[in-house]
Structure formats: C-alpha cells, structure tokens
Structure 1
C-alpha cells in the first residue's frame, strides 16, 4: 500500500472557498457565542464537503479559531482548511449613486502560517489603503489615519456617515460595514505585497464576478476591467443554482475573459437559514487531492476538474456500473513461495478514472498491467511479463509462488494465481491491449490478427446499435444472420441454378475442342469404311431355281408359308418395338412421378420450416402466416399417372416375356421356329435361294443401320449431323454464358443487398465518430462496409495443378499473377466484378505468361479429381466476395497504413469509438506515434475515453500522464537487491512526492516528447 495520504489519486470532493466565520465583520450566526453552532454546522455538512476556505475579509482571527478547533480533534470531516483574504479594489461599478467595489480574494496555502499572512501581507497593505473617491478628503484632511481594525473601521464608518447630509444617512449601513466597504486598494499594491518570498507559489487569487460585472464596458474602463479578471487565477460567484452559475460562466466565456468560475457559498449564516449565503449552499466539486497543490491543478484542467451541480456524472456512473470499475488489487504469497523471492507484496488502490503506470524500463509496469488483465479475464494472452520467457519461465516457476485478487467497486472479489492461463470461455471483464498485440497489428497485419480485429470491429459496431434495433440479438453476427438469412438463401438458390448452367457450359466446351471435332471426323471415316466394307460384302445374287410343275407347286406353297410367317414376324416385331417404347415411357413416367412426389414432400418440409422460422414474425406482426402463404397439393393426380404407368409397364413386360404362352415374345419365337422348319423342308437349291434372300434382307438392314438417320448418333448421318451441329455450338455457348452472366448479376445484386444491411448497422458508429471527432480534419476516421475478396487466391490455386502449362503455372509465379489480377480489379461494382471474371476466364483459356498466349484447355490445368465445373462454380459463384466491415484512417484501409498511422487508428478506435464500458488497459499507447499525433489525437482521445470507463495506461513517458491529466499515478520500481521486490507508489499528479517521481523518470529516460519540454511541462503545472 502506498504511504501517501491520498493513494487513490484525484477524486471528486466539494470545495467551498468562501466561508465567513462568526469573527467576520458581517455575519448572521445566531446567539451571544455563535462559534459552537458554527463548528457543529461545519461538522454536519454532507460528507462530500472536504475543503473550506475561511474568509473574514481583511482579518485572520476566524481562520485561527477554526484551526484551533481542528487541532482539538473537531472538524474531522474536513480535510483542508485554507485562509482567504477578501479586499476591495479601487475599481468601481454601478451608478454614481450606488457604487460597488470589485472584490479581490487571495487564497493562501495552508502551509503559510496565519502570523505570516498578518505580518507580511496585511500589515504591508496598511499604508496602501485609499477611500472611495467621494470620501477621500477624510484621509487627505487627516481626519482618519489608522491600521485597519474593527474599532478603527468603525471610526472610519462614522466619519463617512457624518460627512453626508442628515437626510441621506438613513441609506447607510452600520459604521463598521461602511468603513470596510469604502476602504480600497489598488491592484498593484496588492500584487506588490504578494511578491514576498514567503508567498512564492503559495497563493492563488480570485475576483468576485458580481461586482466585477458592474464595471461598465467603455473606452476608459475596458482595459482595466479585462486586466483585473484575466490577471486572477479564478472567479468567484455565489450562484442561486447551477443554472445561474452556468449562465454566468457562459457570459464570461462569450466575453473572451477568464471563465474559471467557482461557485462558493459566501456563507454568513448557518445551513438552516433561509438566506442564499448560508453554510453548505455550494455547488462546486473539484477532482483533486484536498490540498493547495490540488487547487493549483485547476489552472491547467478547469473543464475536466471542476463540476458545478448536485453531483458529477462520473460519481453516478461509477455507482450505477459498480461491477465495471476495479478498486483494489492485492497480492499474496502462495505456499510455494521462496523467502528469497519477494516480488509482489503490496496492495494497490485503483482510481476509477485514468490511471497511469509509470517507471523506468524493466521496473514492473507491464507486470501490473498483465496481472490486472489476467484478473479481469482478458481473452488476449499476448503478455509481455506473464510469459514463459519471463515470469512464467518453467524452471523458476515464479508464477506459482504468487496470487492476486481484484476487488471491484461493487464489492465483488476475484482471486487467481499468476500461473493460471487465460480462460477464453470466461466473461471478459476488461479489455487489454498489450504492447505485443499492438505491435503485431502495427507492423504486420497477419490473417490471425485480421480475424481478431474483425471480431473487435463487430463488437464495437454492435455496442453502438440501439437496443431497439438489436431485435433481441446478443451479438452483431446473430443480428446480421437474422437480417440477411433470406438473402443468403436467395444466393444459394442462384448458385444452384449456376451449377446447372456450368455443367452445360462444360459439356459444350468439351465439344468445341479441336480434339472433339477430330474424334467425330475419325468416327465418320470409320463408319464410311464400314459402309464400304459392308457394300463389298453384299451377298452374291442366287437366281431363283427352276422346278417341274409338281415340285414348283410344293415349293411355292412352302415359300408362300415362309412369306406369311415372315410377314407375321415383321408385324410382331413392330408390335414388340411398340411395347418396348410403351415400357420405356412407363418406366420414365414412374421415375418422374416418384421424383415429383419426393419434390412435393420436400416442398412441404420447406413450407413447414418456413412456418417455423416465421413464428417470431407472426408474433411481431400479429398475424397467422398460414393465412398469408398457403400450399395446395393434389398427389392423386400424380398417383393416377403413376398407377397407369405401372399397369402399362406390367402389360408390356408380360408381352415381352417368352415365358408367357400368348405373349408377343412367345408368338414371334414360335413363328421363327416354324420358319426354320419350313426352310428345312425345301430342296437344296431353294434352301440356298431362301438363305440368300434372308442374307440380303439382313445385309440391307445392316446397310440402313450404318447410313442411319440424324437421330442415330452412331450412324453416318448421325455423325454428319453431329459435325454440322458443331457450327451451332458458339451460339449455344454464348447463350449459356449470357445466362451465367445474368446469374452473376443476380448474385452480386443480392450481395449488395447484404452490404446495405451492413451499412445500416455501422451508420450509428460513424455518426458517433463524426459527432465526437478528435481532429479538425473532417472524416479522418471512417467506418466502411464493402464487398471484399476473401480466400479467392488460395481457393482457386487449390484446384490448379501448378506443374501444368498455363497462366498460373509455378507455385510462387502463379500466386503472384493471380494476386495481381485481384489487386488490379474493382470489386465494389458489378461492372468491376464482371470484368474480373472475364480476365480470369481469359487467363484460364490462354497461357498469359511472358512470351505466350497459347490456347490451353482448362481440364489440362486442373488437379486430379477436380472437374472444370467445380472451378466454374467457385469462380462464378462469388462466394469469395463477402460484405465486411472496415475501419479507415484518412480514407486508407488498415493494411495500407504505416505502423504509426495504424497504431493511431487502433488507439483511437479503442479509446474513442469502443462503447464497451469495461476497464481498458493499454500497454505503452505512445509507441509508434510521433509527438504531434500524441498531442493532437492520442491525448484528446484518452481524455474523452476516461469520461465513460476506467482507463489504465502503462507508459515509459510520464509526461503523457501529465498532459492527459491522469487521475492517479502508479510509480513502479523494482529493487533487484531485495528479492526483486516491486514497489508501487500511487497518488495524484499534484502530490509533491508523485511530482518528484515523475521528474525522476523523465530525467532517467528518453521521453517521447523532448525531454526539456516535458520536464518544463511537469514543473510548470505542478510547482
């Protein structure tokens, strides 16, 4: 635990710097001895009151009395009591009938003894007093010349009252008040008295706003009026309410003068009084140590360190989100600890605002950041201290010797040993940006880092989506899926259509090759050769034999019977062919019916799924989706056709089956047997002749088959038709590629619709960025949603055989050529995508390597088991084009930024845009940033971020902590001579001990800022 009085650093407290005591010239405290009731009233002030300024005009007696009571143990609730002197300057406002004097307050440090104020300041002014102009003759005529005391001021008042006509004396106050109000000093005389070495750096000044405002703005007074207020450190007012204070502050700001306006009670009465100027009626909160140095800090950060109102938002925010603010880290030794290893042994309180961990290199700064992150269940394990090369080195096992616990503002407490790994399944209670992670993204945006940062982008975008627009979803991915599911299904349907087109295109492309044409020509030539050989093998004609009449009659009868059988055979053959056609058609109808019935079942299931998926929409829209979408199905019509086909199929199979007695197949078999028997009954000459006729018939049938028809692909005419059809292939191919191009259009259009949903989702965060810009440059930080190429190069090259000739031959050369194609094309428009597809298609059809432009076949370039249609499905399906969120800096994407620009973007992203309210821990945010960027971007971003979440930064440059006005400084020092003991000293910037540590670190390291300027900045602010 730090030995400083206020180890938590700067905290919000109420400061009332204008309180009058019962010793004041003017007061309304009741009773003959009002001091006890006054002290009790101070002791019962609300607990937020910690600092009061005792102001009894030009007297110090009341301050002494209050100090005396404090020394007795009273006023334990008040941390600081400051002496304040109130003077009247010789500048007047109002009309000549009612002049007001400018009130000038000097707030002395509590380190200045009251006697020093009396002797070295008040006494030094004695010879400098002047009266109001209308009464200056009282001094010049030597009617009054005295050291100001209550008695002498009362005498002066009587002289003033006696100097006016008797009828006007009723308009005057009591002599004591009149004497004081008309006793004035020049500003020069006051400033001269303050130049004493006793007061160097130990006083602050304030001007009363109300009386100052009475001075008229004219040619004679404008310079004096501005000099008075601008020369003071603060402006005091006793406002009726915070709104009145704000109005007064705005008038000062609009007038271009000092607007460091503090509300004070100007209490002259107890808190129970009904008057405005009473104890406790002060709205000023100051975020600082309750010390004089804490008050001095207001000179540099008045906007951030002063709040006037009922309660600062920061206090209410922390109370409402008490589980999001760490309050204390405690270290313990485990049973494994060795005596010689001390390391961590202290407890460190944590401020709920901006905490800066400083110290020289290698002194335990990052150790504290790593441990805080571990205790906060960070998912980022890029620790610079808790890793196997340092504290978790397996041989020493130091990590097992210590445990730490974190206590949250809510009172919840979590404990871990320092050897415990990061638990990715635990709820992440802090956001940690370790230096290794920042460096890895700044120097090399690897795919793993891209994925991690994409996840961060989505979380931040989702944090800006209004609760009403989240539709009950818990992550951006869930919301995107919900909003785009139907569009993705539409894309899937289009891709399925595309696959069918690609199969047809590949079929045509296979036919358009020269090899295919040569194959057809060769087959035609073979058929012609067969025809020629067949013609040469035509049966030799055998003359019909001559017989006697009796034999002739028998032969004719036999031949006629054979002819009848042949005719009957031909008739049966035709009937059998008809039955075969009926059977073919019946089988086809049955198969089609079964497919259709299955498709109907699928349609019903799809509709059922549609109904289920629409159930939430039904509730939201308050309607029955089954009344919106109906499906009428009549399966009976399909079953009727199928049953009819089943009957025809059975009849046809029966007719074609020889085993059935009366079937067509059995009949033709019988006829052929009969024909064979008749042939045997003929004599030899007639048998030969009939055999010739049968051979001639068979030859003619074969002849006709070889010549064939256009429909018979295996015939000469069929082959000639095929060759002729090749001339029509270009037109057919063009028609199919046009259909494919149209499908690509539809797919890209659907992806643009997805993109539009992405744009709607990031619009709130872009609005937030524009509204809270940290730079005067417009649009310096931009969110985009764009269609990006993801996985195309790897996906295509996985299908390509890099050893085969083609544009993408060669492992490295092919990859570079394909990358160049991707980088040189625009994927944000459909025209750009279509052009890209044409380029890739051309590279697949022609070898585009240097010195080549030879036509190549796609199939020859592919790996085994990869078909051309597979590649086309990948190329034209556009699955590699996906909507993606992108963060840009000055219109440049992340991967095109320099390390410094990338670091700046990432820090502003986490500090400014990230709406998550868990603690943010950043290790060395200033790395990779130049001085100007730190001053113009990083510092404002840190100041803005600490308004809404706890920020903890580790820095080698403590000047960053100073210019960011850190609420708490934790100085880290490693004592290697004492068991590697890490000493953490915590407190506010304004604490003198912390100031010295800051300067020591600045002198001991090369700061990111110029060392001389940095040291000057610290000393200027803190001394």
Structure 2
C-alpha cells in the first residue's frame, strides 16, 4: 500500500435516493437511471456518499446493487445514513438525528438493524420496534384506512419518534454501535437543535449536541463555533460538549433537480482516504479535516509542492515511486530503516543539501547520502512538482550546488540542527537564521534593496554610527583643548610671579644704568630712555608681524595639503560611506571640498603685507653723521619714527654719555639687557592675560563638550530606535499571538559595561594608593553604577547629559585627587588629563545590542533543546515568506517529550496549512497529535556485504487501520499517544 494519505475529497453526507420513505419526489418511472447519471456527472465529483433514509436502509441496499452493476465508478465509499426523528420538538416539527454507519463490517446491515430494533415507540397500548415490519404495523394502527404496506410504512415513519434517552442508552450499551456508528444532528432551526426554542429545553439541546459527533450545518458561524473560534474556546467545547465537532452539509435531495446540488455550492469536503475512518478522523480534528465550501481549503501553492519522488538506478530502492502529500508528511521506521535516506533523497532533488552536507565525513555523518557515498553509484532522484515541473539530480552529489541551482526546499538535517543548536552555533548560525527571518518579514520596499539583514541593518544605523563617531571625535578634540586651558589655569600663579620678578629685574637694571650717568648728561639720558621705550614698542610690533607671517606661511602649507591630499581623501571616504547613492564621478566631484575664496592669492598678499609692515617699522638706517649733531630733533614724534633711526640716535647718545669707554660699554649693555627683559616681560604679560582668560574659556568648552556628549547619546538612541524598527513586523505579530509564540520576543537595548569603564580607570588612570573616596577596589564602579548606569542604559540624551554633569560636580575633584601626577608636573599632568577626559566622556563601553529571548531568557543562555524549539519556531511559525517545502530530520532529537507536545504539535499543525512539511520522526506525538496527512513507513532488509540494504516504503493516512497499527508498533508510546489524544479531545472513538 502506498498512497498520498489524507487528501481532500468531496463527500455527500446527506442525500436521499429514489424510494426514500418520506417526501419522495423522484418520480415513478425508472428514477434510478436518471438519478445515478446525475450523480456521475457532478462537478466537483462526489467520491463518498451517505445514502439517507428514514429508519430503514432500503435505499442504501438498492444503491449497493447499482454500484455492483458498474454504476458510480468514481464513488469509492458508500455507507448508510439512517435519519431518525427524536421526540424533541423543533421549530418546524421535531429534531432529526442521523446514524452514520461504517460499512467496514461485512455484517453492518444486520448489525445496525439489530440496533434499530432496540429503539421503541409506545402507542395504542402497544410497543413498536424501529423495523420495517413494525413501522408498517404502526402506520396501519394509526390509520386503519391504509391497507398498502408502502403507504403504511410511510405513515408509520411520520408517527415514530425516538426517545433521546433511549437512543443514548441503546448506543452506550452496544460495543458494536460505539465502534461503527457516528451520530450527526442537524444544526439548523427547522428540524435541528437551533430550532429548540424553549428555555426549559436548553439542557436537552446541549445533551443532544454533546451526544453527537457531527453537526449538519453549512453556516460559517456554526462551523466557527464548533471548532472553538466563537463564544467558546476548544477547552470550553470539551467541557460542555465533549469536544469540537465537524460541520458537514449535504444536498438533502428529495427530487431529481437537487441531486448533489446544495444551495450556494456548499459542498462537504473531508480530508482523508475514501474510507469511513476518514470521517472518524474528522471528528478528532474538525478544523483540519472537515470543510464546507465550493472548494476545499488550499495549503501550499502547487508549484511549491513535491507531488512525487522517483529513484532510478538504485537497486536498493525497493519502492522507487512514492507519491507525496502536499501537507504534513511524516516518515517513520525502526532505526536504520531508511527514514533519513528518503529525506536526503528528496533534499538532494531540491538542491537543498549544502556543500558541507555533501562533504561530511561518511564515518560520523548522520546523512544517508554521505554514509552511502561509495555505494550509491549512478542512482538519481526525479522530483515531480505540483506545478508540472520536474527536476533530476544524481544522488552522489556530482551535479549539486551548480552556479544556476538554488535550494527549492529548506532542509533541516540532523547535522544542520545540531550545529545551530550547539554552543557555537548559538552565536552565529542560529542568530543568522533569526536575522534572515527578520529580514524576510519586511516587504521588498522596506528592504531598501538590501540583500540581507546585515546590509539592511547597516543601512538603517550607519548614519547614526557615523554621527556618534563624529561627535566622539569632537569630544576628543574639545577635551584636548580643555586640558590645555586647565594647564593654563594652573600657570596663572606662576606667570604672575614671573611677571613680578621680571619687573623687579628690569627696575634693578634701570637703576644700575642710572648710576652710570655722568653729571651734565641728564638730558641725553632722558632722551635715550625715551627712545629706548619707543624702540621696544617697535620691536614688539615687528615681533607680532613676524608671528603673523609665520602663521600665513603655515596656512599656505595647510591649504596646499588640504587641496592635494585632505579634500580628495574626505571625498573618497564619503563615497565609501554612501556607496548606494548612485552618483556618478562627475556628480561626486561637486562634493569635493574647495576653499570659498582664492586663499593662495590672499595668503601671498598677507605675507607681502606683513613683510611691508616690518620694513616700514624697521626703516632704513641714516647715513653716518657728525656724532655731535642729533639725528632726531627734540620736537620730533618718536612714535612715528622707524626703528633704524631710533637705534642710530640711541647709539649716538650712548657715545656722548661718557668719555670713559668702559662706562659707555656698560651703559650700552644695560640698555640692551633692559630691552631684552622688556620683550620677555611682554611675552609673560601676554601669556598671563591668556591664562587668566582660560577659566572662562574652559567653562565654555566644557559646556560645548557636554552638548557633544548629549549628541553622542542622541545618535546612540537613534541607532537603538532604528534597530527596534527592524523588528517591528515580527514584534507586532508576536504581540498578537498566543501560546508558544508569545514566549519568543525581540528587544533592542543599550548595554553599559560599567565594569569595563571603571576597571580601566582604576587600573590605568587613577593612583588608588592615595587616600581618598576611590581608594578601595571597585569603589568607582559602584559610584558609576548608581549614578550613571541607569541613564546610560535607559535615559534620554538630556538625562544622560544631566547625569554626567551631576557625576562630575560630585566626583571630579575626588577623581583628580587620585591623579598619578602633580599639577606642577606640567607635561605629565597634561598628558594624563587628556587620557582622563577621553575616558570620562568616552562611550566605547556602551553598545546597542538586540536580544532574542525565549520565555524571558536570552537564547545565548538556553539549553540546546530549547534552542531547538526556537529554531523550529522560526521555520514553522514565523518564516512566512518562505513557502518552499520544509524537510526536517528528527526535530525532536534534542527535545524532551513534554516540549514536543507542548511546543511543537501546534506549530506543525499551523505550518502544514501554509507549506509542505516532510518530517522524519521517532515521536508518536509528532505523527498522531499533528494529525499527519501522510505517514510513510520505512523498512530495510538485510544488509548485504559491500552494498546497500533494500529499502521499502508504505504510505497512507491515519484513517487507515494498517498505518495506525504501524505507528503503534514502530513509535515508542504510539498507543499511549492515541489514547492521550482521545482523552484530551474527549473523543468517544475506539478506532
């Protein structure tokens, strides 16, 4: 036996035939021929018919005769539907209940008649059994004018009412009835339970519906109610009605016109092979196996369904042709029976085995094709797809993974799952798969042409990472400047002292020079002093112009370097960062940084101007003259004279101040020394003024740095928000889901490694040997954890900025007290301050990390088994964009039985409605409680020396008794799983 197992077929569960006891409108002239012809020509074709009649099986028996004569060749299943009227009033008469009888027992007719005979109706001080003979008697007793047996039968049928309690007792007392009869009740308002209007009869209605296995109704609202999607959940239905119920609908034909033509094309579809057990399975899984509509439910797209697998040139394949169900296919068998072999063969035909899978070590690999590599020979597999395509591949991998091939299925081999669920895999493979699912959950438009998650993530966050990097560099530059200003602040006292000392020194030199003045030369000395002061001013001006000139020359070098090296490199970096801009070379050229004006011309002019100003200030020395004649008149404005003239006059005056050569040389030397010290004093005054302004500048820079620090966190928060946006589609779906899916969650958060941040300072920056607040180990870490960590991880940019400001106000002086250098060690202290600032305002210890958790635990910390659940959650429940077949080899391998039942069963049920799932399993729950559509049983023969053992496959659905027997025999806990399923669903079925 090898079949596709459970497939959708059209059933007709409620149809009358010519000769039906009541309301027979088929006509008297050979109605059967026309009736059967109509049935044979229906579209969609009916393949299973429940022949309905009131109280008796006459029309069913007639049906059997016509079927035996060759009529209805497309109908594979006929069974009786015996319609009874209960003694419970409905809106238009009485509630009708149906006995659907399995035809599997060759004696089913005699047995069901024996059951019917036990139903009795009391009238006329007599008791009438539910048999043809007794119904005729009842008809004649209730109307003595009737003499014809046929008329009496019809009239008796209108009078006979079945007591519900008696019917329930008769069924409960018969083992045969419980095994072979399914109870259906009409759910409509006319002759169904909805027609029971009296409030006092509500309990009766509930008891009838509880007793029934099937509801005859085509109402979508009724179907939703009976599968737990309306007022009651499935648990509520089990508590109140003994479980969910399938809704079916028949044409209820009483005339030729309506044969097999229910109003609105509300056909009944049952999933299963064409045997009565398929109806039993529909009672177990109403949602998945029974449907009313013009077409059966669709699952995977035909083009994405493997409909048939064939193995050629493989003498080991005793069953070379295997049809496959489009839903859930489970492959079972004893160890070494060839289960994985079939999964491997199908995966090979789909190009779904990775190069690593083909190259696996044949001695340790769980793969059949890897182990059998040397023995597989020229065997090939050909897959036929539901859309009409076929693919053929060699089973030794010679034509695998070609440059034009792509995986037409996703294959979760044992090796693949073990790698993803290992400690190593959790940091790469499993996360990669999760990211792939997240990426594919975005629409094509939202992906912004990215090829994978990493590229999409980079597109979303690179802008903010670049902003963070820019602001961090700005903080570093500002910190350097702050360190410079702090150093200048520390020099105020020293410079003030040096200025004072320099003034005293100049005063001493001036006094010494005054002592050298010869009597009678006071006027010349005063003039010399005046000229000396004027000369000093000119020299200061010349020095200032010289400084400007050096700056202009340096700017020339910088402009030249920027033009030839800096700007082109900045453009290249921008092109790299924004490679997706689509700009061509000419368009990018517009982004080349150039100077706004002609800086070369300007700088050359500035240098020429500075040189001219120096020349004007220096002037041209006057020609030699009589030393007794003054070079500068007494009334001349010395502030307007050039330095050369003033210096020449000073030299003339020095020559006449004393006739003593030694005194004259001393006077000249002191004058030069005074000029030199005045220049130094001017420099010290400039530095002191600059140092006194350092505090104000430092505060401004600190405010600027605080703002930059806030902008760093704005960039970090923007990056966090962008990452969270990547998860929005899945997070929204998880929030709206229930059960296992709700255990899976994604979060994006900032992580502040305070330990790393504090440890670096304690070990590299601070001298904890010094007594102070941070003397003890980890004391800084404790302070930062309390004051900064909450804001770093959860605060806004403004809150982070405020927290850092408060931290500095509270701890900065304490931290500085642990500096390893004294402020007087200028070079060392300045270098340390730079390091300190870079550390204090650094953000390298802050990362934005996205986390995937299951039941509140990061997947990195889950056990391999639970990671296996997460992996299967991905493929079964979340990977909506992938509609290719999913092939899984023993998903339960790393899971405990409770996890299989609690976590996976519902996932497989949901997944098989969207894609074809082919699963190798040892677990009975994954076959039985998932209501597998096809079970393929693998069996291997003796292993010949130097060859492969013959492998044989049988296949069918759970509705097939032989398949169920194989499940029980092969799978550990198979019988227990069947019993547990019946207990859990409160199904009163033994088969």
**Shared fold (TM-score, shorter chain, > 0.5):** yes
Choose the corresponding residue for 1:990, options 959, 966, 973: 959
Number of aligned residue pairs: 923
2:365 equivalent among 367, 379, 390: 390
Q: Deviations over 1:739-767 (max 9, x none)?
A: 43332222212332343344445344333
Q: Which runs of 5+ in 1 are unaligned?
A: 165-172, 547-558, 618-629, 663-667, 809-813, 861-865
Residue number among 271, 290, 299 corresponding to 2:283 in the alignment:
299
- What is the distance in 1 between the residues matched to 2:370 and 2:618? 85
Change (3 A) 1:472 1:293: same
Q: Distance in 1 between the 2:403 and 2:38 partners?
A: 55
Following the alignment from structure 2 to structure 1, what is the Cα–Cα distance between the partners of residues 832 and 738? Answer: 54
For residues 224-373 of structure 1, the aligned pairs below 5 Å read 225-237=205-217, 239=218, 257=241, 259-270=245-256, 273=257, 283-315=267-299, 318=300, 321-332=301-312, 342=316, 346-366=320-340, 368-369=342-343, 372-373=346-347
8 Å CA contact 1:43–1:75 kept in 2: the answer is yes
Aligned to 1:782: 745
Equivalent of 1:583, from 531, 536, 549? 549
Of residues 178, 181, 190 in structure 2, which corresponds to 1:203? 181
User: Which of 498, 504, 512 is matched with 2:475 structurally?
Assistant: 498
Q: Is the 8 A contact 1:351 1:967 kept in 2?
A: yes
**What is the distance in 2 between the residues matched to 1:729 and 1:568?**
31
Matches within 5 A, 1:26-65: 27-29=24-26, 32-47=29-44, 49-60=46-57, 62-65=59-62
Stretch moving more, 453-462 or 799-808: 799-808
Secondary structure of 1:40's aligned partner: helix
Q: Which residue of 2 aligns with 1:91?
A: 87
Aligned partners of 1:597 and 1:635 also within 8 Å: no
Mapped to 1, the partners of 2:197 and 2:97 lie a distance apart of 18
Which residue, 112, 117, 139 being the options, matches 1:121? 112
- The C-alpha deviation readout for 1:150-181, integer Å capped at 9, x for no partner, is xx9678646644569xxxxxxxx965532333
Residues 426 and 1022 of structure 1: CA distance in aligned 2, closer, same or farther (over 3 Å): farther
Larger displacement relative to structure 2 (757-766 or 152-161): 152-161
**Residue 555 (structure 1) aligns with:** none
1:11 to 1, 7, 11: 7
Of 98, 101, 105, 1:107 maps to 101
1:194-245, Cα deviation, whole Å (9 max, x unpaired)? 96676673332323445343874669856555444422322335x5x76787
Corresponding residue SS for 1:269: coil
Give the match's secondary structure for 1:314: coil
Is the CA contact 2:215–2:245 (under 8 Å) kept in the aligned structure 1?
Answer: yes
Moved more, 653-662 or 16-25: 653-662
Larger mean CA deviation between 364-373 and 323-332 belongs to 364-373
Counterpart selection for 2:156 from 160, 179, 190: 179
1:382/1:934 Cα in 2 relative to 1: closer, same or farther (>3 Å)?
farther
Query: Hey, what's the Cα distance between the residues in 1 that align with 2:535 and 2:868?
Result: 94
Aligned residues of 1:215 and 1:221 also touching (Cα < 8 A): no
Looking at structure 1, the residues matched to 942 and 276 of structure 2 have their Cα atoms a distance apart, in angstroms, of 36
Contact 1:407 1:414 in 2 (8 A): no
Deviations 1:71-90 (A, max 9, x none): 45543322x32321414345
The answer (yes or no) to whether the contact 2:215–2:248 under 8 Å persists in 1 is yes
C-alpha distance in 2 between matches for 1:30 and 1:24: 11
- What TM-score comes out, normalization by structure 1 length? 0.70
**What SS is found at the alignment partner of 1:211?**
coil
| TM, length-normalised to structure 2 | 0.72
Q: Distance in 1 between matches of 2:984 and 2:295?
A: 31
- String of CA shifts for 1:525-554, please: whole Å, max 9, x gaps: 9x99x999x99xx999999999xxxxxxxx
Q: Which digits, 9 at most, give the CA deviation of each residue in 1:318-350, with x for residues without a partner?
A: 3xx33433333444459xxxx8xx479734433
The structure 2 residue matched to 1:999, chosen from 950, 968, 973, is: 968
> Is 2:945 the partner of 1:970?
no
8 Å CA contact 1:370–1:383 kept in 2: the answer is no
Counterpart contact for 2:118–2:129, Cα < 8 Å: no
**1:119–1:377 distance in 2 versus 1, CA, 3 Å:** closer
Check conservation: 1:505, 1:737, Cα contact below 8 A.
yes
Give the 3-state SS of the residue equivalent to 2:191 in structure 1: helix
Superposed CA offset, 1:557-601 (max 9, x none): xx9xx9999999999978965763563465467678879999999
- Conserved? CA contact 2:349–2:391, under 8 Å: no
Q: Give the C-alpha shift of residue 310 in structure 1.
A: 1.7
CA distance in 2, matches of 1:49, 1:873: 81
186-195 or 452-461: bigger deviation = 186-195
- Structure 1 residues 42 and 782 mapped into 2: Cα distance closer, same or farther (>3 Å)? same
CA contact 2:723–2:850 (8 Å) conserved in 1: yes
* Aligned-pair CA distance for 1:854: 6.1
> Which one of 424, 427, 439 corresponds to residue 450 of structure 1?
427
Q: Aligned residue for 2:638?
A: none
Matched, 1:771 2:745: no
CA distance in 1 between counterparts of 2:229 and 2:80 reads 26
> Structure 1 residues 1001, 455: closer, same or farther in 2, change over 3 A?
same
Q: Check 1:574–1:763 CA distance in 2 against 1; reply closer, same or farther (3 A cut).
A: closer
1:890-944, CA deviations, whole angstroms, 9 ceiling, x for partnerless residues? 4443345555555444443443333223234444444555555444443223322
Distance 1:802 1:968, change over 3 A: farther
| Mapped contact 1:461–1:765 kept (Cα < 8 A) | yes
Q: Does 1:24 align with 2:20?
A: yes
After TM superposition, give the deviation of residue 296 of structure 1 in Å. Answer: 1.1
Cα distance change of structure 1 residues 394 and 780 upon mapping to structure 2, 3 Å threshold:
closer
Contact 1:399/1:418, CA 8 A, preserved across alignment: no
- After superposition, the Cα gap between the structure-2 partners of 1:1013 and 1:616, relative to the gap in structure 1 and judged at 3 Å, is same
Aligned residue for 2:132, secondary structure, equals: coil
Preserved CA contact (<8 Å) 1:900 1:929: yes
User: C-alpha deviations, 1:693-752, integer Å up to 9, x for none?
Assistant: 544444444555666641577xxxx7xx99x87xx9888767645543332222212332
Residue of structure 1 equivalent to 2:714:
749
By how many angstroms is 1:15 displaced?
A: 1.3
Contact 1:370 1:384 in 2 (8 A): no
CA distance in 1, matches of 2:129, 2:365: 78
Provide the C-alpha distance between the structure 2 equivalents of 1:361 and 1:543, rounded to a whole number of angstroms.
123
Name the SS for the 2:739 alignment partner. Answer: coil
Residues 59 and 85, structure 1, Cα contact 8 Å, conserved in 2 = no
1:886 counterpart SS class: strand
Q: Secondary structure at the match of 1:52?
A: strand
Q: 2:876 is matched with which residue?
A: 911
Deviation at 1:773? Answer: 0.9
Residue equivalent to 2:637: none
Shift of 1:977: 1.9
Q: CA deviation at 1:948?
A: 2.3
Unpaired runs of 5+ residues, structure 2, are 584-590, 624-641, 770-776, 826-830
Output one character per residue of 1:965-1023: Cα deviation in whole Å (capped at 9) or x when no partner.
12222334454624244444432122222212211233489x9x899968998998772
With over 3 angstroms needed to count, the CA separation of the structure-2 counterparts of 1:424 and 1:956, relative to structure 1, is: farther
Post-superposition offset of 1:878:
3.5
Are the aligned partners of 1:364 and 1:974 in contact in 2 as well (CA < 8 Å)? Answer: yes
Counterparts of residues 567-606 of structure 1 (less than 5 Å):
580=546, 583-584=549-550, 586-587=552-553
In the alignment, is the contact (CA less than 8 A) between 1:19 and 1:53 conserved in 2? yes
Give the equivalent residue in structure 1 for 2:910: 944
2-structure distance, mates of 1:373, 1:796:
53
Mapped partners of 2:42, 2:708: distance in 1: 77
Which whole-Å deviations, capped at 9, do the CAs of 1:287-310 have from their partners, x for residues lacking one?
122212221112211122111112
Contact 2:450 2:456 in 1 (8 A): yes
The CA deviation at 1:957 is 1.3
RMSD: 6.6
